[in-house]
Structure 1
Amino acid sequence: MTLDRRLTPATDRVALESLSHVIERPAYTPGHPARLSVPLADLVGAPDGRRDRQVNFGADVTVIETRGDRSFVQTALDGYCGWLPAAALTTVLPPVTHRVAAPATHVYPAPDMKQPEQTSLSLGARLSVTGVEGRFARLATGGFVPVQHIGDRPAADPVTVAESLLGTPYLWGGNSRWGIDCSGLVQAALTACGVPCPGDSDLQRAAFPAVDTIRRGDLLFWPGHVALAMSPDRMIHATAFAMAVIVEAIPDAMARIDAAGDGPFLGIRRPPLAQPAALA
């Protein structure tokens, strides 16, 4: 059996106990829960490897092994596995009540917009709100965020979410307002709407059913690339062609991608439209 490294919660030394009858390792562990306590961190395939994806503030993970200053984890969001800085994780896990619903927001030391900001958080960051003071939400982790930038219910339309990130710089493996790639944009848009979505385009293509005609919210695939249909003739995507999130006419994009030798077009997939009543 060939296991996908990205989705296999095992290093060369330790695996989750659930894999004890699947793969052989010197040791097995139940793992322990943790949460990302910094605004953003690269998830890498090896302790000194390159970025595979990124993990946003408040993301829950299962820690499988810690080696030096790195911890190997599996993310709760999509099951993606990789190494994070151990210092970026906390075992203090207050209930998550909200997410950042704006493209980005600032965290302030007091409920006052004139205070110098402490840090910035991206769309999708998971928050534990303990109260509201004026127009600011108080966080269990410290600091205050504007109530206008957060929500406690899923968004209604992934295309609208993606449009809020127009102009975001393209970043390979990126998952935030400060840099995002094609699959990161799709995952951010669908996750904001309560629709589970894998992290990479090939996994996204495998996750949703194929359809023959394009409607708003469908996913359009090429080798190593995915876009989100805004309508039967327009799409939004994070593309290295423009090094940004842009809108293109679908026929023009298909012709351009084909001319560049980056095809063929692999078809259309349709995520579900129904959303849960509350955030996961």
Structure 2
Amino acid sequence: MTPAGCDPLHGLDRRLTPYSGSVALVALKGKVAAISFTEGRPARVAVPVVDLCDAPAGARDRQLVFGAGVTVIDERAGWAFVQAAADHYCGWVPLTALGQGGDVTHVVCAPATHIYREASIKRGEVMALPIGAGLGAIREEGGFVVTAEGFVPRQHLRAVTAPEADPVAVAERLLGAPYLWGGNGYDGIDCSGLVQLSYGLCGIACPADSDQQWHGFGQVLPEEVPVIRGDLFFWKGHVAMAVDDTCLIHANGHHMAVRYEPIRDTMERIAASGEGIYLGRKRRL
């Protein structure tokens, strides 16, 4: 139990601090009062999607998808405390969700795909994977990319060395996907998850939560600067992407889905609801 008034993280952001409350990465020596420190061990997510929780069996903060690299820092009662390689987000996942895996060479660029047992769509599938999942290619065979897990349609994959050019085009593939707070996959995604995924497939590092994105992106644009495709509109607790100078795309709880919505309507609706003040518009240069 933490004594009243004591901050074990010394003001550090829990989401980005590789410290389980007992064990921390060695880089935090002198910064947190951990019982022990570790270099951690590498692992990869070995299930389609897993919740990244704030405690063992706790509430979901975010999600990680198949192939995501992590550093395992602590283990407790079947759970692992990890830090994600892509955005440094920390949390707990079931140990059973992790494996070793190899290098990721390709990423799923379709809304979802299947891994098949053989180079045939008629011979049964091994698992379904969401957009953003990472795989290691061994070779190509009959229109499929062969991986350690099975055969994936070549059309559904993109080499990590050939990122996409338009984050908005990525987001548009998820139109209609259900809203899920903290979600990062096609079966459920939230506003910041959609932005992170869209930029990630374009090879652009992006934080996971909307407040981190607000602080991590560029300067606030003056109102007189014309809106262009890809501009990000921020409210306290929400983010949306401009499709053009009149329309946004965002995952939102009002529609409970990824939807297009006119910029003016969105502004008026959120202001009327009192759900979050408008912070401004930013552009990822």
Task: Give the TM-score taking structure 1 as reference length.
Answer: 0.95
Q: What's the Cα RMSD here? A: 0.9
Q: What amino acid does structure 2 have at the position aligned with 1:123? A: I
Deviating above 6 A after TM superposition, structure 1's stretches of 4 or more consecutive aligned residues are: none
1:107 pairs with 2:78: no
**d(CA) in 2 for partners of 1:251, 1:69:** 48
**d(CA) in 1 for partners of 2:17, 2:277:** 29
**d(CA) in 2 for partners of 1:120, 1:78:** 24
**d(CA) in 2 for partners of 1:158, 1:190:** 5
**d(CA) in 2 for partners of 1:94, 1:129:** 10
**Residue deviations 1:44-89 (CA, integer Å, cap 9, x gap):** 0000211110000000000000111100000001000000111111
| Deviation at residue 263 of structure 1 after TM alignment | 3.3
**d(CA) in 2 for partners of 1:233, 1:35:** 41
**Residue deviations 1:6-48 (CA, integer Å, cap 9, x gap):** 0000011101000002111111101111101111100000002
Could you say what secondary structure the match of 1:3 adopts? coil
1:82 pairs with 2:91: yes
Could you say what secondary structure the match of 1:266 adopts? strand
> 1:66 maps to which residue?
75
Identity of aligned residues (%): 51
> 1:94 maps to which residue?
102
1:143 pairs with 2:182: no
1:193 pairs with 2:210: no
Q: What amino acid does structure 2 have at the position aligned with 1:105? A: T
> 1:15 maps to which residue?
24
1:41 pairs with 2:42: no
**d(CA) in 2 for partners of 1:263, 1:49:** 26
Segments of 5+ residues of structure 2 without an aligned counterpart are: 1-9
> 1:220 maps to which residue?
233
Could you say what secondary structure the match of 1:254 adopts? helix
> 2:278 maps to which residue?
265
> 2:133 maps to which residue?
125
Q: What amino acid does structure 2 have at the position aligned with 1:17? A: V
| Deviation at residue 181 of structure 1 after TM alignment | 0.4
> 2:259 maps to which residue?
246
1:211 pairs with 2:218: no
> 2:211 maps to which residue?
202
Select between 249-258 and 259-268 the one with higher mean Cα deviation.
259-268
| Deviation at residue 116 of structure 1 after TM alignment | 1.9
Q: Does structure 1 conserve the Cα–Cα contact (< 8 Å) formed by 2:67 and 2:135?
A: yes
| Deviation at residue 115 of structure 1 after TM alignment | 1.7
Task: Give the TM-score taking structure 2 as reference length.
Answer: 0.93
Could you say what secondary structure the match of 1:241 adopts? coil
Q: Does structure 1 conserve the Cα–Cα contact (< 8 Å) formed by 2:191 and 2:252?
A: yes
Could you say what secondary structure the match of 1:172 adopts? coil
**Residue deviations 1:176-229 (CA, integer Å, cap 9, x gap):** 000000000000100010110011000000000122232111111111100011
**d(CA) in 1 for partners of 2:105, 2:37:** 33
Segments of 5+ residues of structure 1 without an aligned counterpart are: 273-280
**d(CA) in 2 for partners of 1:115, 1:72:** 37
Q: What amino acid does structure 1 have at the position aligned with 2:180? A: L
| Deviation at residue 262 of structure 1 after TM alignment | 1.8
**d(CA) in 1 for partners of 2:275, 2:104:** 41
Q: Does structure 1 conserve the Cα–Cα contact (< 8 Å) formed by 2:237 and 2:276?
A: no
| Deviation at residue 232 of structure 1 after TM alignment | 1.8
**Residue deviations 1:153-188 (CA, integer Å, cap 9, x gap):** 111100000000000000011000000000000001
Could you say what secondary structure the match of 2:168 adopts? helix
**d(CA) in 1 for partners of 2:144, 2:278:** 46
**d(CA) in 1 for partners of 2:213, 2:139:** 37
**d(CA) in 2 for partners of 1:265, 1:132:** 48
